[in-house]
Each structure stands twice: as C-alpha cells, then as structure tokens.
Amino acid sequence: MYQRGIEAYKKVGVTNTLSSDSDPHLVIQMLFQGALEKMAYAKGCIERKDIRGKSEHITKAVSIIYSLQGCLDMSVGEISDNLYRLYDFIVDRLTSAMISNDISKIDEAIRVLIPIKTGWDKIPESAKLEGYALRAEKGALEHLSNVRDD
C-alpha cells in the first residue's frame, strides 16, 4: 500500500533513493515533510506573485496529500476515517489557496498537518514493529486466501 507513497514522493522530485523495501514509517514521514515543504514554497511564491511556482508547489502538495490518503488502511475504522477527512480538508484549503492566492488558507492546511506529522513522528519503535508484523500477517493471510480461491 505504501508503494504508492514511494512513487508519489519520487514524482514530486524530492528524492529517488526510496525503494520498494524502504521502511514504510520513514516513507510516510518523508511524505509529511515533503507536503509541508511544498506548502511553504507555495506561500513564498504567492508573496512574490509567482503564479507558476505557486501552482506547481500546491499541485505537488495536493498530490502528496492524496498519496497519504491512499496509504490509509480504511479497514481500521474511525482513525482512518478521521484522517481521510482531515486530508480532504487540507486539499480543500490548498485548492482554495490556489484560486484565491490566500496564504492564510495554506497556513490552515499546515496547522492541520503538523499535529498529524508530530503524532506520526512520536510512534515508538515497539509500535512500529508491531504494525510491521500485523501487516506481514495480513499480507500472508490475503495471499493464502487468494491461493485457495484459484
């Protein structure tokens, strides 16, 4: 699932050092950082009246946010649903900023994204390892189910 995040990160030109065996937690951290950087660049472009730059950076930030949405495991329930809606709000604010050249709308998006990123950054190593194990187990069960269906 996080492979889409790796591909999105490569598309926005931040780095090409990620591979399919990259740490999923690190990939998400990099997506958060990339989105925040693109939002900051877009603010600078608006201040300089650089419309092309503003559009480029907001478009890339939106693409990253959509990738974060795509990485959500919606089977988890309320947490994923809430994050999905928060990401929708961020996209709405960025789209509105693109149209209106209003930096305050980018600031709103940043204020919503930073606590999510901060929470992600604080996930303890033990919880990461537990998540990796659950993901591997889920993947093995899905594979077994597919084999039985064939």
* Cβ neighbours for 72, distance < 8 A, ≥ 6 positions apart: 80, 83, 84
pLDDT value, residue 75 = 87
Asked if residue 57 has pLDDT above 50, the reply is yes
**Taking the CA of residue 119 as centre, how many other CA atoms within 13 Å lie in the half-sphere pointing to its CB?**
7
pLDDT value, residue 12 = 45
pLDDT value, residue 42 = 98
Handedness of CA 51, 52, 56, 62 (dihedral sign): positive
Asked if residue 9 has pLDDT above 50, the reply is no
Q: Per-domain residue ranges for the chain? A: 3-123
Q: pLDDT class for 5, splitting at 50, 70, 90?
A: very low
Please give the mean pLDDT across all residues of the chain: 85
Entry pTM: 0.77
Two tokens at 55? Answer: 């559009």
Greater model confidence, 146 or 90: 90
Could you tell me the CATH superfamily of domain 3-123?
Answer: Flagellar protein FliS (1.20.120.340)
Using CA atoms, how far residue 80 sits from 53, 67, 70, 75, in Å, is: 32, 14, 11, 8
Q: What is the mean pLDDT of residues 50-66?
A: 98
pLDDT value, residue 69 = 95
**How many whole angstroms separate alpha carbon 90 and alpha carbon 75?**
22
* DSSP structure string for 74-124: GGG-HHHHHHHHHHHHHHHHHHHHHHH--HHHHHHHHHHHHHHHHHHHT--
pLDDT value, residue 15 = 46
Question: CA nearest 34: which of 52, 47, 50, 16?
Answer: 16
**How many whole angstroms separate alpha carbon 47 and alpha carbon 66?**
26
Greater model confidence, 26 or 20: 26
**How many whole angstroms separate alpha carbon 86 and alpha carbon 137?**
29
Handedness of CA 120, 6, 20, 145 (dihedral sign): positive
Q: What is the mean pLDDT of residues 58-81?
A: 94
pLDDT value, residue 95 = 98
Q: What is the pLDDT of residues 108-149, one digit of tens each?
A: 999 999 999 999 999 998 888 887 787 777 765 564 555 555
Q: Provide the 3-class DSSP secondary structure of residue 47.
A: helix
